[in-house]
Structure 1
């Protein structure tokens, strides 16, 4: 598909992405999804290390630097700074689709949600080239004076995502600018901007999730989720 080819090239190219195995991020995550659950500062100024090939992320420095948290599809763990496993949540994917607003009830839920979100954020748009992801180009979307092209993606059950169906928007430079999907019973839009190149891979360093009106316009407040990436290293 021509649009997907343009998008992959704009983000660094599929060949470069396929040569990579791991990433390390320095980032902060916040928003009302976290503050309303009592976790306003749990994911401020943390390190995320993960695989570009499998769904795996380890966060260091959560809860004010006291703990680490690990996300894998079959288990979430909370660990001490020296690596001792303190708590474990087995097979979290079974609970995720039905968790609703209780998803962020404690640190295990928080690590699960952030693990899914950050891994999917970082691997997009290359994840759209996965052989089991079904994509379809939609009519363009007018965003103020800009025209954004769109892809609808349907993800297989073998991948843990924030939603099985999502709509991706790309600007005139084929860079990802917005993603729409359902979350906790509401429709949300994730805007992304401030793209930067790290080792040849172009990443939006700022993301913001907000609720959507039925007509597709964004509700300005509250901001559900804010992600700021300060640095990224790919290996």
Structure 2
């Protein structure tokens, strides 16, 4: 599909992407979703290392720099910085709790949530070229004074994600600027900007998730999720 081809080329191209296998990020993740769960500073100034081929991410420096947490689709772990296992959770889920507790109240679920979102953020738009991802181009969207092209993607059950169906928006340079999807029972608009080139791969370094109104527009406050990537290394 032409739009997807343009988006992949704008982010470095499939040839460059396929020549790499691992990433290391220096980043911070916050927002009211974290603060309301009692984790306002759990993921501030952390290192995320992972595979670009399989869903796995290890965060070093969580909980004030004292611990590490690892995400994989079948298990989540929290460890000391020297590798001592503290807690583990098998077959995690993003399901909304029915007992009134916050979905991210437990640190294991917080690691799972951050692992899912960071891995999928980092691998898009290349992720959309997978043969098991169904995509279709939607009519363009007018965002303020810009016209953004859109792709709707249906993601396979084998791919752990925040939502199985998502709509991706791309600006006139074919850079990803927004993603719409369901999140913990709400409809959100996830914005991305301030793209930078790290070793031939272009990544948005600022991301912000906002509540979406019925007409598709976003509400400026509260900021549910706020992500800043300070540096990225691909190898």
After TM superposition, the score normalised by the length of structure 1 is 0.97
Q: State the shift of 1:99 in Å.
A: 4.3
Q: How many residues align?
A: 233
Match of residue 168 from structure 1: 168
Alpha-carbon separation, structure 2, partners of 1:144 and 1:41: 33
Match of residue 206 from structure 1: 206
Secondary structure in 2 matching 1:68: strand
Residues 74-127 of structure 1, C-alpha deviation per residue, up to 9 Å, x if partnerless?
A: 1000000101111000011xx323447732012101100000000000000100
Alpha-carbon separation, structure 1, partners of 2:97 and 2:152: 25
Map residues 176-195 of structure 1 onto 2, 5 A cutoff: 176-195=176-195
Alpha-carbon separation, structure 2, partners of 1:102 and 1:39: 11
After superposition, the CA RMSD in angstroms is 1.0
Map residues 145-160 of structure 1 onto 2, 5 A cutoff: 145-160=145-160
Please say if residues 96 and 185 of structure 2, whose CA atoms lie closer than 8 Å, have aligned partners that are also in contact: no
Secondary structure in 1 matching 2:7: helix
Name stretches of at least 5 consecutive residues in structure 1 with no aligned partner. Answer: none
Secondary structure in 1 matching 2:4: helix
34 and 137 in structure 1: CA distance in 2 versus 1, 3 angstrom threshold: same
Q: Which has the higher helix share?
A: 1
- For residue 95 of structure 2, the aligned residue among 87, 94, 97 is 97
Please say if residues 170 and 178 of structure 2, whose CA atoms lie closer than 8 Å, have aligned partners that are also in contact: yes
User: Are 1:30 and 2:14 counterparts?
Assistant: no
Please say if residues 27 and 231 of structure 1, whose CA atoms lie closer than 8 Å, have aligned partners that are also in contact: yes
Secondary structure in 2 matching 1:207: strand
After TM superposition, the score normalised by the length of structure 2 is 0.97
